[in-house]
Structure formats: structure tokens, C-alpha cells
């Protein structure tokens, strides 16, 4: 079983507008609400692929109730930890020119008891692969407390990422900017090597339209999509994590894992909302992704 953990759950609100102009009034053509947070998005993608997955998440207040109702309607297995605070909302504005604007609320403060209940839920499930995703809300402990005892993937940023390396995650998945932020290094291969020295088993770096870079104990690879896609990029990184979890759980080689991850990321860009994937594109693209060993440094500056 793959278990995803989302300490900072959200209700995702997505607006579609003709164009986004600062300081002006906008009228949305379409408004959609969906249970979100990075781990929930990962679980949604895995569920669409037919994987054995369970989401562990927090939920509180009327917004939390809406999150629970959406997960139940989508038939995504979930363990929900009740919290006293109101679950946050995240807002995405999709404009016709292809721009994507996000506003993310910080999330409610967790009590020590709420965090320990979340950690206990993870231990009870005994996952084959554990996915820890997203920001940590105020009052939360660290992801290092949850890692260990199973294969694991960490997708967070900043201090939460650095602190979690003590838990020795199997894979860490920052994007290029997040990697540069925590290491101070502009070269992603050198920066990824620093995270490996600090405890990460492997580092998979999202390079946007250029694909993925994987720095592992068995080699370094760059995987590129066959074509540049336009669409909603908000769930692309979560789709990468979903593919990494599948590949890690099935013991696939790194080149095969990366082919699936790039293909699924593109499939998410073609989906209307975070957590949606175009399965036809996913299956077609896997055979078209170019994966090359990279013995030297990759300069993305």
C-alpha cells in the first residue's frame, strides 16, 4: 500500500478567467472546488491509476467537511484526523493566456495531540511506500518523525525539507528553485549531491518543461518529455511524486521510473484540475520520453 500524508490539507478553489489584470474586477467563467493539498493530489492520481493507496490528512471546520465529502464522492480511501482549526483554502486562477496564479493560505495551527494522532495513523497503516507532501502548518512536528521503516518520498521545501533529511527519505523531490534555496548552489547536480550527503537516498529535481533530473546512488539521469505542453501546471509535481511512488514500490529501474514520472507529469498538465490526469497521454508518452545518463554537470541557469 502507498500512503500519502497531508498535514496541511486544503480545499482547492479554481477560477477560470479571460485574463488576469492586477487592480481590476474579474468575473470567473467557471469555479470548481476540490479536496487538495499535495498529498491528497498524489493520492487522487494514484487512485485514478488503480493503485492501492490511502490518504492520511487533517480536516477541520466547514471547509474540512467539504474536503471529506469530496474525497468520499471520489471514493479515495482516507484516514481523516479531526482538528480544531478551520482547514485552509488555496486559490488558483487560470487565465486564457495560459498563466496560472496561486494564492495559498498558511493553514490552521495544529495542537501537539493532533500532530501525534496524525503520526499514529501513519504508523498504524505500515505502508510499503510513504509519501510526505506539502508544507507543514503551524504547530506541526517534522516529517522526520514520520519517515523510516518503509520506502519514502519527501516533497516539501525550505526548512521543512532540510529538517526531514534526518529521517533519511528514500527520495526527495524539489524543483530547481527549491533546491537552490536550501543549498545555495546553482548547479542542480551539485546541489542534489549535498542533499544526498545530508540523508536523502536519491534526489529527483523538477525542471519544468525540461523534464526531470535524478541524482541517485546508482547514477545520474535526465529525462525529457517528447513535446512541450501547455495547460494547468499546478498538479504536475504531485503527478511526478505519484509516479515515483509507483516505481519505487514496484522496484523499477531509475530510467523506467523517470519515464513514467515525466509522462504522468505531462498528463497532469493536460488535466483541468490538480489531481486530474490524461491517461491516454500518460500511456502514449511513456514510450517517447528520452532518458539519458548524465555523468557530468547539468547547467540550467
Residue 137's closest CA among 175, 85, 178, 182?
Answer: 85
Mean pLDDT within 176-201: 97
Domain-embedded: residue 300: no
Among residues of the chain, what percentage have pLDDT more than 90?
A: 85
Domain-embedded: residue 186: yes
**Residue 160 scores a pLDDT above 60:** yes
Domain-embedded: residue 103: yes
**Residue 213 scores a pLDDT above 60:** yes
Active-site residue flag, 278: no
Domain-embedded: residue 299: no
pTM of the model: 0.92
Give CA–CA dist 202/189, Å, rounded. Answer: 11
Which of 70, 155, 238, 276 is an active site residue?
238
Mean pLDDT within 139-146: 96
**Residue 295 scores a pLDDT above 90:** no
Domain coverage including residue 95: 2-293
pLDDT at 297: 43
pLDDT at 299: 38
> Over the chain, what is the mean pLDDT?
94
pLDDT at 98: 82
Mean pLDDT within 77-85: 98
Write down the residue that cell numbers 488535466 correspond to: 271
Domain-embedded: residue 219: yes
pLDDT at 298: 41
Instruction: Read off the CATH number of the domain in which 186 is found.
Output: 3.40.1190.20
Domain-embedded: residue 298: no
Residue 5's closest CA among 111, 102, 145?
Answer: 145
Structural domain count of the chain: 1
Mean pLDDT within 140-161: 94
Domain-embedded: residue 273: yes
Amino acid at each position: 500500500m502507498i500512503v500519502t500524508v497531508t498535514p496541511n490539507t486544503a480545499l482547492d478553489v479554481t477560477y477560470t478567467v479571460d485574463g488576469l489584470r492586477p487592480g481590476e474586477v474579474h468575473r470567473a467563467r467557471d469555479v470548481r472546488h476540490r479536496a487538495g493539498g499535495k498529498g491528497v493530489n498524489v493520492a487522487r492520481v494514484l487512485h485514478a491509476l488503480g493503485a492501492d493507496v490511502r490518504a492520511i490528512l487533517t480536516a477541520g471546520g466547514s471547509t474540512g467537511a467539504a474536503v471529506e465529502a469530496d474525497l468520499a464522492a471520489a471514493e479515495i480511501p482516507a484516514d481523516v484526523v479531526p482538528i480544531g482549526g478551520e482547514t485552509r483554502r488555496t486559490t488558483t486562477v487560470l487565465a486564457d493566456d495560459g498563466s496560472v496564479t496561486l494564492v495559498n493560505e498558511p493553514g490552521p495551527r495544529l495542537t501537539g495531540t493532533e500532530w501525534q494522532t496524525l503520526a499514529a495513523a501513519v504508523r498504524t497503516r505500515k505502508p510499503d511506500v510513504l509519501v510526505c507532501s506539502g508544507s507543514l502548518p503551524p504547530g506541526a512536528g517534522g516529517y522526520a518523525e514520520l519517515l523510516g521503516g518503509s520506502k519514502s518520498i519527501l516533497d516539501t521545501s525550505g526548512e521543512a525539507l532540510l529538517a526531514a533529511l534526518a529521517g533519511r527519505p528514500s527520495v526527495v523531490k524539489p524543483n530547481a528553485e527549491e533546491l537552490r534555496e536550501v543549498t545555495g548552489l546553482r548547479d542542480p547536480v551539485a546541489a542534489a549531491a549535498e542533499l544526498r550527503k545530508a540523508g536523502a537516498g536519491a534526489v529527483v529535481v523538477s525542471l519544468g518543461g525540461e523534464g526531470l533530473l535524478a541524482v541517485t546512488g546508482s547514477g545520474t539521469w535526465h529525462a525529457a518529455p517528447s513535446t512541450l505542453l501547455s495547460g494547468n501546471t499546478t498538479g504536475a509535481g504531485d503527478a511526478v511524486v505519484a509516479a515515483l511512488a509507483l516505481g519505487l514500490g514496484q522496484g523499477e529501474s531509475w530510467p523506467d521510473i523517470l519515464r513514467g514520472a515525466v509522462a504522468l507529469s505531462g498528463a497532469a498538465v493536460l488535466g483541468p484540475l490538480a489531481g486530474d490526469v490524461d491517461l491516454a497521454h500518460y500511456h502514449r508518452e511513456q514510450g517517447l520520453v528520452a532518458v539519458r545518463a548524465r555523468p557530468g554537470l547539468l547547467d540550467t541557469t
